[in-house]
């Protein structure tokens, strides 16, 4: 496959699943041309830095935390919401680093995570049969015919929202907010008083004492940039290929192609077919890539994905994201781990404990049980340990907002509570307390290999 020629548009000769039925293709073409003339959102050199950071994960020396919304919303782009999401990711990373002693590579599902795959083209709302909601980059979620009409101008709006989000993230991560000296201030108010919040407080105290100790030993902390800034990389599912193609640029330094809409792109469970358009597009861009693998994935499919997307076997280029379901991970994942391990392909294996555990509650809300999320993470660690593979990280849907979208956790959200603050435009997200709780459990699993059995 890799010997065939590639261009940013070569995917157009293949079957592209999950693309909207655009009512006006001329309008779409005009929008794509405009996007093509706009500046890249990220730079090739940044994508290369992320590949090398992920190479450390592939080598078992670091851990990957990939987290954020299921779908970002055009209706909520407040600085507070972006800051609070970052706070949760920084907190989770601090917990994981502190207890494992390993660097944590932080990647957001953010600044571009808009497009959603759907199981059907239409959905029934009351008596109406409407086009499915495909994310705000395509249409609006309101249940009426006009809102659901795919509108190419939304690609431009998504680009600008991504750019504004990224601008704020760069300011937060490089401008002092992510300074390790502020580790206490990442505790959100509604989290601080909970059991997880108190446990976090202890870790923050420990980090503070370690910093004081280093200072007392004569180490000049002011001059260590690593303590004052963090790298938060961006990622999203590369679903809407017209958009991704429009932001694909040739790097002037290396001559290689990069999809400059995000640092990392991933293939969803529904669009990872080898001969189809999404694999064709992604194989030609040099960004680090992810690929979801659900419970039906076979060892041969996993190997074919490795060969198609990473024929040169570059460590950090490919992350395989297992999303099996809590009841299936222990049986379905080991054969995949073994096959890839035996092939010698240097991949990062991470667990998405969310997408295999979604169901509709009696109240009608799409939800997930915190206990199932945790059980899948435990099963993932057990499977990795049994096969001698590094459990490389987590991929989670979360928010910094105090929502009630997932069941359970220490504040014991029940079906009756779901309606209180159910705000997601797509899948249910862990709230900040549940996310922090998950980080503590994962850090225990990382520290003590026997905890996963």
Of the pair 44, 293, the CB lying nearest ligand PEP is at: 293
Q: Which run of H or of E encompasses 265? A: strand 264-267
What single DSSP character describes residue 127?
T
Q: How far is the CB of 250 from ligand PEP (least distance, A)?
A: 29
Task: Give CA–CA dist 443/452, Å, rounded.
Answer: 11
Q: Which stretch binds ligand PEP (CB under 6 A): 26-34, 209-217, 265-273, 374-382?
A: 265-273
Of the pair 154, 355, the CB lying nearest ligand PEP is at: 355
Task: Give CA–CA dist 296/126, Å, rounded.
Answer: 33
The one among 196, 245, 269, 376 contacting ligand PEP by CB under 6 A = 269
Could you identify the residue written with the tokens 């779901």?
A: 418
Q: Which run of H or of E encompasses 369? A: none
Number of residues that bind ligand PEP (CB under 6 A): 10
Q: How far is the CB of 164 from ligand PEP (least distance, A)?
A: 22
Q: Which run of H or of E encompasses 164? A: helix 153-174
- Let me know how long the chain is: 453
- Tokens standing for 192? 């601080």
Handedness of CA 219, 223, 226, 227 (dihedral sign): positive
Q: List the one residue out of 433, 398, 406, 300 whose CA is nearest residue 67.
A: 398
Of the pair 70, 337, the CB lying nearest Co ion is at: 70
Q: Which stretch binds ligand PEP (CB under 6 A): 39-47, 59-67, 206-214, 264-272?
A: 264-272
Kindly report the number of other CB atoms within 10 A of residue 414's CB atom.
11
The one among 148, 263, 292, 317 contacting ligand PEP by CB under 6 A = 292
Of the pair 35, 267, the CB lying nearest ligand PEP is at: 267
In a 13 Å sphere around the CA of 338, the CA atoms on its Cβ side amount to: 10
Site for ligand PEP in 323-382 (CB under 6 A): 323, 355
70: contact with Co ion by CB under 5 A: yes
The one among 268, 290, 325, 392 contacting ligand PEP by CB under 6 A = 268
Q: Are 4 and 311 in contact (CB under 8 A)?
A: no
* Partner whose binding site includes residue 268, from ligand PEP, Co ion, none (CB under 5 to 8 Å by kind): ligand PEP
Residues 6+ apart with CB under 8 A from 326: 353, 356, 357, 372, 373, 375, 376, 379
Q: How far is the CB of 202 from ligand PEP (least distance, A)?
A: 33
Of the pair 70, 232, the CB lying nearest Co ion is at: 70
3-state secondary structure of 325: coil
Q: How far is the CB of 237 from ligand PEP (least distance, A)?
A: 6
Binding map of Co ion across residues 417-446, x = CB under 5 A, - = no contact: ----------x-------------------
Q: List the one residue out of 392, 393, 398 whose CA is nearest residue 436.
A: 398
Alpha helices in 360-431 (DSSP H): 370-387
Task: Give CA–CA dist 195/37, Å, rounded.
Answer: 50
405: contact with ligand PEP by CB under 6 A: no
Q: Are 294 and 34 in contact (CB under 8 A)?
A: no
Q: How far is the CB of 263 from Co ion (least distance, A)?
A: 20
Q: List the one residue out of 400, 379, 405, 423 whose CA is nearest residue 108.
A: 400
| C-beta nearest to ligand PEP: residue | 268
Site for ligand PEP in 419-438 (CB under 6 A): 427
Site for ligand PEP in 215-234 (CB under 6 A): none
Binding map of ligand PEP across residues 132-171, x = CB under 6 A, - = no contact: ----------------------------------------
* Partner whose binding site includes residue 369, from ligand PEP, Co ion, none (CB under 5 to 8 Å by kind): none
Site for ligand PEP in 78-137 (CB under 6 A): 117
Of the pair 85, 355, the CB lying nearest ligand PEP is at: 355
E strands present in 39-141:
63-68, 104-109, 122-125, 128-131
3-state secondary structure of 231: coil
- Tokens standing for 272? 């990872």
Q: How far is the CB of 427 from Co ion (least distance, A)?
A: 3
* Partner whose binding site includes residue 323, from Co ion, ligand PEP, none (CB under 5 to 8 Å by kind): ligand PEP
237: contact with Co ion by CB under 5 A: no
Q: Are 280 and 308 in contact (CB under 8 A)?
A: no
Residues that bind Co ion (CB under 5 A): 70, 427
Residues that bind ligand PEP (CB under 6 A): 70, 117, 237, 268-270, 292, 323, 355, 427
């Amino acid at each position: 496959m890799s010997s065939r020629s590639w261009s940013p548009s070569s995917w157009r000769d293949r079957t592209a699943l999950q693309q909207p039925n655009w009512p006006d293709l001329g309008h779409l073409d005009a929008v794509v041309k405009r996007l093509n003339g706009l500046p890249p959102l990220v730079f090739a050199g940044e994508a290369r830095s992320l590949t090398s950071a992920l190479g450390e994960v592939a080598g078992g020396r670091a851990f990957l935390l990939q987290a954020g919304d299921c779908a970002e919303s055009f209706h909520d782009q407040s600085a507070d919401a972006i800051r609070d999401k970052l706070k949760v990711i920084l907190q989770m990373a601090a917990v994981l680093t502190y207890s494992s002693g390993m660097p944590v590579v932080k990647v957001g599902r953010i600044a571009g995570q808009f497009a959603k795959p759907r199981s059907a083209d239409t959905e029934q709302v009351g008596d109406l049969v409407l086009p499915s909601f495909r994310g705000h980059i395509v249409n609006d979620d309101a249940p009426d015919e006009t809102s659901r009409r795919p509108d190419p101008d939304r690609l431009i709006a998504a680009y600008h929202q991504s750019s504004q989000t990224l601008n704020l993230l760069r300011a937060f991560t490089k401008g002092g907010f992510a300074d390790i000296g502020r580790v206490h201030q990442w505790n959100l108010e509604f989290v601080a008083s909970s059991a997880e919040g108190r446990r976090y407080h202890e870790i923050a105290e420990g980090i503070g004492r370690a910093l004081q100790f280093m200072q007392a030993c004569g180490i000049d902390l002011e001059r260590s940039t690593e303590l004052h800034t963090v790298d938060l990389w961006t990622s999203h599912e590369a679903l809407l290929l017209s958009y991704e193609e429009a932001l694909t640029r040739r790097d002037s330094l290396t001559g290689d192609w990069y999809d400059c809409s995000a640092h990392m792109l991933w293939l969803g469970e529904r669009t990872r077919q080898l001969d189809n358009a999404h694999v064709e597009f992604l194989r030609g861009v040099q960004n680090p890539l992810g690929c979801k693998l659900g419970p039906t994935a076979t060892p041969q499919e996993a190997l074919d994905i490795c060969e198609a997307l990473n024929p040169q076997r570059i460590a950090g280029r490919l992350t395989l994201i297992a999303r099996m379901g809590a009841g299936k991970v222990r049986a379905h994942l080991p054969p995949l781990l073994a096959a890839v391990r035996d092939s010698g392909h240097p991949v990062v294996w991470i667990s998405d404990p969310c997408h295999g555990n979604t169901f509709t509650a009696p109240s009608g809300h799409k939800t997930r049980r915190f206990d199932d999320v945790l059980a899948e993470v435990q099963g993932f660690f057990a499977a990795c340990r049994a096969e001698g593979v590094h459990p490389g990280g987590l991929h989670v849907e979360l928010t910094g907002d105090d929502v009630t979208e997932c069941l359970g956790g220490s504040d014991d959200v029940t079906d009756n509570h779901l309606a209180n603050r159910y705000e997601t435009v797509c899948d249910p997200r862990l709230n900040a307390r549940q996310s922090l709780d998950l980080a503590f459990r994962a850090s225990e699993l990382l520290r003590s290999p026997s905890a996963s059995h």
